Amino acid sequence: MSEQKKYMTLNMGPQHPATHGVLKVILELEGEVIHRAIPVIGHLHRGVEKLGESKTYIQNIVYTDRLDYTSAMINNLAYCLAVEKLMNIEVPERAKVIRVIMSELSRIAAHLIWLATHALDIGAMTLYFYCFREREKILDMWEMVSGQRLTPSYIRIGGLLADLPEGFMDKLKEFVDTFDAHVDEYDKLLSKNPIWLARTKDIGIISAEDAISWGLTGPALRGSGVKFDYRKAQPYCGYEEYEFDVPVGSKGDNYDRYLVRMEELRQSNRILKQAIKRLPEGPIKAHVPEIVFPDKDLVLKNIEALIHQFKIGCGGFTVPKGEVYASVENAKGELGFYIVSDGSSMPYRFRIKSSCFVNLSALPEIVKGSMIADVVAVIGSIDIVLGEIDR
Amino acid sequence: MQIVIDGKNITADHGLTILEIAKKEGIHIPTLCFMEKLLPIGSCRMCVVEVEGYENPVTACNTPAVDGMVIRTNTEKIRNMRKDILRFLLINHPLDCPICDKGGECLLQDLVYEYNVDVQPYTIKAPLKEYKEYSTPAIKYHPNRCVMCSRCIRTCREVVGRNVLDIVGNGFDARVEPVNPDRCIACGECLSACPVGALTETVSPTKGRIWQIKRVPTVCAYCGVGCSLELNVLDNKIIKVTTDVNAGMNKGVLCAKGRFGYEFVNSPERLTKPLIRKGNELVETTWDEALSFVASKLTEIKNKYGSDSIAGLASARCTNEDNYLFQKFIRAVIGTNNVDHCARL
């Protein structure tokens, strides 16, 4: 008892602008030095996994948008890949390439939010506006394809919601052509900034060994020098056919993780350039009439299509008995879906493997012994989204 | 008798049809015009199956099984035939699913989805059929949705015995029409027999999809027969009455009152408080006051004019227990045999 008394307990969050959502961290302080940090989660718990058991496989797509809402499309993709794997559906080539385009746009959009808020947390406000300028363009593109900016639900089981609208490719090309220069701009503003270096270099270190034992994934793992990326390790959507590098850090501090993500912005753009060249003509949905919605213009003209739309939309489709796990590399790390089907039209069990949850669990270890001001820098640098942690 | 269905050796009784045996064994053969309580006519051809040694496929619903038959119910050829039958049925079908009462519990929808009929290779130019008055205002007939299974006609003839309906016209002009409208008793048996949305009821203005409504099993209170009902309840309001074929002694059959007489349940005109006539007006009162008023008047009349000056008329809508108590009250307390109920009138 007497030993505990000399620490001051400080509640950081959940109403705190720099805990990236509704995260609360209970800090035990010795002066300004952190003796212990306890993350408290659950303020954003919606029961998505339980809800998933009473929604049809199609209805569940919209819940995935709301996990890591900074990069909704990758979440759609991870879920759809899991269901497609369970049902043995092969998606047409054009849909695959569009899925890669959307994934990489999501990654860029998520990393831009990370960069903007991470820099803002530490005091570099200007960058915020630069980043949101580019993110806005991505959201515009999402709006073009799906009508939604934040929660598009564009990727569907068996393909996509609809084909790319007219003018989308021009907009994408314009974005891709200018984006590398924008990353250079961010680079100039931060990478050699002495305040930035003081706040990130040698701060929040986690060794490669520790990172692996904590089960970190994504840039938080690669920052520590472990070259592991699901796009390379277990390629999906034809990622094995794209040329890109997996950047890694050396020390595992805030600055390394920063450099990794900055390089990932460039690499994502590189993948986008290849995808634009590769994009073939063809259908965007697998031809599985009992599962995939028919085209809307057919539904308005054709009774067969109307009946299928009605039956799939109202009752959902049944999925054969079995269980499946599929994961993708989202902006934060591994996002996986574990689904058990009992042969009905709703999952029997619906579990989400969230990288943010795992990465956050290493926070107490990372901030132990560092200064109180570093907590915000570390939270920003491991890049969490509470929507995915609490689910 | 030994037969083989889809590779399964089956011992079956003589005189059963292929469909009956398959159903018992849990082998699914799709049907459309077939109903258990009607004679099978093999008109829709959905139940076609292949029999080894037979030149052409046969309809399972009206082909008796013969010893040694080898039957296949789900071959590629059979599936294609069923698909073609569905395409013919859909060839002129209106795009009504979103506004059709039957959407979601429509046999045609289910079959089209089951057989994945997603393209229509055939075209036809046929004018839309006109709406005409049906034999009862409680039912509306949509000629363009009709699949000509004749279940309504056969139910009217074989189950109800009224012979009201028949098919009029032929080819693409064919439609179901009440040829003897005067004989119609508005029982709605044709409505319940319709596998699609060609016959819809017009009584309740509220409609609900099958997954929105709750089906509450109950017993009809209209008369002493006591038919099983399923009240279709949406937002705590009855919007339709159906009945389960397997429940009760009515076996899926109802009369006009049981099927269409449910609107009173939610009527705002129902009495919820006792009324006493004061002067020329009926005034709301409490149960205590009403009951003591009735008791004192009955005692007064009985003492003045004798027991037989009073008669009791009960309602057939009450439960048996209530009616038993009522006659007991009239006989034992009032002391008269003047007791009856409205169903006899």
- Domain chopping of chain B, boundaries: 2-74, 203-270, 275-344
Q: Assign residue A147 the CATH number of its domain.
A: 1.10.645.10
At A264-283, the pLDDT tens digits run 999 999 999 999 998 998 88
Whether residue A305 lies within 8 A of chain B, CB to CB, comes out as yes
| HSE (side-chain half, CA atoms, 13 Å) at A21 | 27
* Backbone angles phi and psi of B241, in degrees to 5: -120, 125
CA distance B10 to A71: 58
CATH class (in words) of the domain with range B203-270: mainly beta
Closest of B108, B83, B211, B117 to residue A316, by C-alpha: B211
Q: Looking at beta carbons, which residues of chain B come within 8 Å of A300?
A: 95
Chain A residue closest in CA terms to B118: A304
CA distance B150 to A48: 48
Residue A121 has pLDDT above 70, yes or no: yes
Contacts of residue B85, defined as CB under 8 A and 6 or more positions apart, other chains included, come to B44, B45, B46
Which string of DSSP letters, residue by residue, matches B88-107?
HHHTT--S-GGG-TTTTS-H
Residue A9 has pLDDT above 90, yes or no: no
Residue A4 has pLDDT above 60, yes or no: no
* Model pLDDT, residue B219: 87
CA of B112 to nearest chain A CA: how many angstroms apart?
Answer: 7
Contacts of residue A22, defined as CB under 8 A and 6 or more positions apart, other chains included, come to A13, A14, A15, A43, A44, A386, A390
Q: State whether ipTM is beyond 0.90.
A: no
With respect to residue A78, please indicate whether it lies within any of the assigned structural domains. yes
Any idea which residue has 């919007």 for tokens?
B239
CA distance B135 to B137: 7
Residue A48 has pLDDT above 80, yes or no: yes
DSSP code of A307? Answer: H
| Bond before A14 cis per omega within 30 degrees | yes
Residue A159 has pLDDT above 90, yes or no: no
Give the type of residue at A92: P
Across residues A316-321, what is the average pLDDT?
A: 88
With respect to residue A348, please indicate whether it lies within any of the assigned structural domains. yes
Whether residue A297 lies within 8 A of chain B, CB to CB, comes out as no
Which string of DSSP letters, residue by residue, matches A265-277?
HHHHHHHHHHHHH
Q: Which residues span the domain enclosing A326?
A: 48-289+319-390
- Count of domains forming chain A: 1
Tell me whether residues A315 and B209 touch, CB distance under 8 A: no
∠ CA B187-B193-B194 to the nearest 5 degrees?
Answer: 115
Across residues A210-239, what is the average pLDDT?
A: 90
Bridge partners, A351 (sequence order): A338
Tell me whether residues A304 and B117 touch, CB distance under 8 A: yes
With respect to residue A32, please indicate whether it lies within any of the assigned structural domains. no
Chain B residue closest in CA terms to A302: B95
At A321-335, the pLDDT tens digits run 999 999 999 899 899
Residues in chain B: 345
Closest of B309, B329, B307 to residue B318, by C-alpha: B329
* Model pLDDT, residue B122: 85
Can you list the residues of chain B whose pLDDT is less than 50? Answer: 345
* Model pLDDT, residue A8: 85
* Model pLDDT, residue A3: 54
CATH of B2-74, one of 1.20.1090.10, 3.10.20.740, 3.40.718.10, 3.40.309.10: 3.10.20.740
Residue B71 near residue B4 (C-beta atoms within 8 A): yes
Average pLDDT, chain A: 89
Residue A15 has pLDDT above 90, yes or no: no
